[in-house]
């Protein structure tokens, strides 16, 4: 079996890296992580050495290099079909892909005003009308998905790529004290209880704070 090597950014701050990692960990396949520190003098050259697009995460599988979190997750879905990274039901799979694509391409206010910081606590920061409107849309997605999945625990019953993509948002809601309903609170707790997420967060606690991300 060719080695699966995932290059990631700082675990405290890199939401896109967290998404790819959660999907990879869910497959149960052996893998190796290599961290490229962000906001350092050599960060850009280190990333360009593994990805000409200049971003992390990057998955290397033999001679194949896949960048972009969603492309990585789709590749893992094809490589490990038994992991069911997308729902097996066609309609549920279409809905899961739609909300994942929405997360991938939208919510710009939420990203800019509430950047991921797994260890930080900044209640009230970033609570602009635009950001709170996007947070409300996220919670609407969670309610609708979990209702169709008979209450969860994940968005489509079992863990899927959709959960990997919304996991960083659960941390943003916690860090910035975004008010959530009972469904949102239960979903945040479900993600927080994932062993893979707990391992990632434990590592993040040992990383230095980056002042540009405050």
Are residues 183 and 146 in contact, defined by beta-carbon separation less than 8 angstroms? Answer: yes
Beta strands, E only, the chain: 4-8, 32-35, 58-61, 64-67
Residues with Cβ within 8 Å of residue 186, at least 6 apart in sequence: 152, 153
Q: What is the mean pLDDT of residues 34-59?
A: 89
User: How far is 20 from 77, CA to CA, in rounded Å?
Assistant: 11
* Fold type of domain 90-194: Glutathione S-transferase Yfyf (Class Pi); Chain A, domain 2 (1.20.1050)
Q: What is the mean pLDDT of residues 31-51?
A: 89
151-203 confidence digits (pLDDT tens)? 679 999 999 999 999 999 999 999 999 999 999 999 999 999 999 999 999 99
Q: How far are the Cα atoms of 29, 71, 77, 161, 193 from residue 64, in angstroms, in the given order?
A: 17, 12, 16, 21, 32
pLDDT at position 212: 58
Residue 150 reports pLDDT greater than 60: yes
Ranges of each domain in the chain: 4-83+199-208, 90-194
73-114 confidence digits (pLDDT tens)? 999 999 999 999 999 999 999 999 999 999 999 999 999 999
User: How far is 210 from 204, CA to CA, in rounded Å?
Assistant: 12
Residues with Cβ within 8 Å of residue 95, at least 6 apart in sequence: 145, 148, 156
pLDDT at position 100: 98
Residue 214 reports pLDDT greater than 50: no
49-70 confidence digits (pLDDT tens)? 888 888 899 999 999 999 999 9
Residues in the chain, overall count = 214
Q: Give me the sign of the Cα torsion angle 73, 78, 82, 88.
A: positive
- 211 — pLDDT class (breaks 50, 70, 90): low
Q: What is the mean pLDDT of residues 115-129?
A: 97
pLDDT at position 19: 98
Write the DSSP string, 139-185.
HHHHHHHHHHTTT-SBTBBB--HHHHHHHHHHHHHHHTT----HHHH
Look up the CATH superfamily of 4-83+199-208: Glutaredoxin (3.40.30.10)
State the average pLDDT for the chain: 94
Among the residue ranges 8-12, 41-45, 143-147, the one predicted with the least confidence is 41-45
Q: Give the closest residue to 80 by CA, choosing from 1, 12, 188.
A: 1
Residue 126: exposure state from Cβ atoms within 10 A (0-12, 13-18, ≥19) = buried
pLDDT at position 104: 97
């Amino acid at each position: 079996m060719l080695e699966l090597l995932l290059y990631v950014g700082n675990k405290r701050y890199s939401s896109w890296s967290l998404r790819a990692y959660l999907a990879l960990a869910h497959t149960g396949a052996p893998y190796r992580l290599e961290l490229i520190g962000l906001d350092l003098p050599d960060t850009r050259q280190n990333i360009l050495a593994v990805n000409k697009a200049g971003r992390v995460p990057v998955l290397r599988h033999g001679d194949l290099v896949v960048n972009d979190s969603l492309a990585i997750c789709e590749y893992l879905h094809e490589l490990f079909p038994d992991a069911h990274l997308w729902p097996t039901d066609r309609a549920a799979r279409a809905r899961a892909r739609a909300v994942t694509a929405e997360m991938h391409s939208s919510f710009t206010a939420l990203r800019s005003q509430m950047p991921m910081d797994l260890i930080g606590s900044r209640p009230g920061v970033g609570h602009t009308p635009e950001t709170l409107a996007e947070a409300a849309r996220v919670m609407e997605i969670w309610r609708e998905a979990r209702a169709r999945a008979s209450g969860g625990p994940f968005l489509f019953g079992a863990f899927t790529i959709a959960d990997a993509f919304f996991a960083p948002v659960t941390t943003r809601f916690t860090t910035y004290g975004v008010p959530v309903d009972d469904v949102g609170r239960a979903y945040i707790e479900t993600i927080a209880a994932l062993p893979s997420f707990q391992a990632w967060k434990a590592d993040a606690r040992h990383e230095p704070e980056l002042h540009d991300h405050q």
